[in-house]
Structure 1
Amino acid sequence: MAESMKLLFMTIDAALHEYPPTGLIILFDMKGVGLMHLTRIKLGCIKAFFEYCQDCLPVKLKTIHVLNSVYFLDKILAIIKPFIKKELYELIHFHPPNLNMEKFYRKYISKECLPSDYGGDLPNTRILHEMNTKRLGELKPFFDAEETFRTTYYNKLNSTSCT
């Protein structure tokens, strides 16, 4: 889970680096999520994710759409809700598996902004993933420098030695 979140944050940083958006819409598809996934949830990761979304995201979060909501969504919400501020929770829209995508395009996100897997005009998610992986590889020096800076900063901040 931590690695997935790090990848998400790096992807957001890469998007901001290349073409800074005026706002961000997160689309999360719960297709394939099962009850066993609840046992893998790490509260520290959930807390970090929502702190990032609420307090550190370097772009305005417009909305979060959760597609293919599962029947045990109430259990997931019970776990994550303590970490979500009211303002952020109001930005989340849950959509059932039988969602009418034509209505979704008209009301929320246009087809030209979605991958073909969702009936959109962009390449499918596999191709977009490959493109994202390539872009992150190109930005490796940037991410290495940023991680070195952050590690050095926190080490100095938490140093207990007096000079």
Structure 2
Amino acid sequence: MFTNRNPSTSMHKILEHSLVTIFPKKTPEDCSIIFIKFVDSNSDNFNLLDELKYINMVCMLHLYQEGPSDGYLILVDLKEMSFGHVVKIRPLLTKNFFYYLQEAMPVRLKGIHFFNPVPFMDTFLSLVKPFLKKEMLDTLYVHETIDALTKFVPLECLPVDYGGSEETAAHLHKKIRNKLIENTAVFDWEETLTVDESKRMKESKMNDFFGIDGSFKKLEID
């Protein structure tokens, strides 16, 4: 997820077919809003790994340029989601991403809000919920209408095509694509920070998560 992230080449396709951005305006609680939606419903254009890279790139670039917020809300418009997208969800990759999101990404996640739910919503949620901590499950919401959503996200924070006062989603899409391309050097620099596993002196005993071997729950002294 942290390699091959050039926005103008390897990531170009996903940038055209989905939108991940952070709204200009924060909530009254000083929470930034991460907005995610598919631009089209053709699941042939969907690649889960690239989508997760895209989310991480947008969040990290926002942190570098704007600094941290008191919290973050994830807002997901499911209107263009098809069952073909769900079929392409890979459990292990999803598990690793949610672990990273909740334990390692430098954001304080305050809630996940889905709206425009799809008929197969239960199937989709069954693939997501097992990887969320209890405190995140308690702040996961599915909203049938914009009115229900605005109990948590003020209307003025939303794009004008959602009834708000900010720029349209299409305009935000164009702006974030251009911003990512303009900052390709940032992602090239980040890739230099990854671990070179080939230089380990002995065989790695990594578990599924980030090279962490065992725990400190028990310390034995000879």
Q: TM-score w.r.t. structure 2 length?
A: 0.64
User: Does the 8 A contact of 1:29 with 1:68 survive in 2?
Assistant: yes
**1:104 correspondence with 2:144:** no
The alignment-based identity, stated in percent, is 33
**1:149 correspondence with 2:196:** no
Q: May I ask how many residue pairs the two structures share in their alignment? A: 154
**1:159 correspondence with 2:199:** yes
In the other structure, the counterpart of 1:129 is 173
Offset at 1:62?
1.3
Q: Distance in 2 between matches of 1:158 and 1:116?
A: 51
Q: Distance in 1 between matches of 2:200 and 2:64?
A: 35
CA distance 1:149–1:57, change in 2 (3 Å): closer
Question: 117, 120, 126: which is aligned to 1:72?
Answer: 120
Q: TM-score w.r.t. structure 1 length?
A: 0.85
In the other structure, the counterpart of 2:62 is 15
Cα distance per residue 1:40-97 (max 9 Å; x no partner): 111132112211221112121111110111222221222222211111111111012x
Offset at 1:28?
0.4
Structure 1 or 2: more helix by fraction? 1
Q: Which residues of structure 1 form unaligned runs of 5+?
A: none
CA distance 1:103–1:42, change in 2 (3 Å): closer
Offset at 1:158?
4.7
Q: Which residues of structure 2 form unaligned runs of 5+?
A: 1-47, 203-222
Q: Secondary structure at the match of 1:149?
A: coil
Q: Distance in 2 between matches of 1:41 and 1:28?
A: 16
